[in-house]
Amino acid sequence: MVTPVLPHQNNVQQIGYKLLSMLNFKGKRGEEVARTLISACLWNDSVESKSRAYGVSPQTVRN
């Protein structure tokens, strides 16, 4: 059985920072939404669970 190799935590964090710098959402809430979306994508997690971790409403992220 082959197990997939997960990326190193630091590499994922660097990718997240790079993606965040490329997105241009205005305002504090926009930055929180961008962080939530990037984190959910990088860790293959749901937006709802990541939004709770960042203190953002899931409804805000979906809109």
Asked whether residue 34 is domain-assigned, the answer is yes
- Domain extent, residue 39, equals 26-63
Asked whether residue 15 is domain-assigned, the answer is no
Asked whether residue 45 is domain-assigned, the answer is yes
Work out the number of other CB atoms within 10 angstroms of the CB of residue 43: 14
Asked whether residue 47 is domain-assigned, the answer is yes
Asked whether residue 54 is domain-assigned, the answer is yes
C-alpha 63/C-alpha 59 separation (Å) is 6
Residue type for 21, please? S
Number of domains in the chain: 1
Tens of each residue's pLDDT in the chain, 63 residues? 555 665 666 788 888 888 888 888 888 888 888 888 888 888 888 888 888 888 888 888 887
pTM for the full model? 0.69
Radius of gyration (Cα) for the chain, nearest Å?
Answer: 13
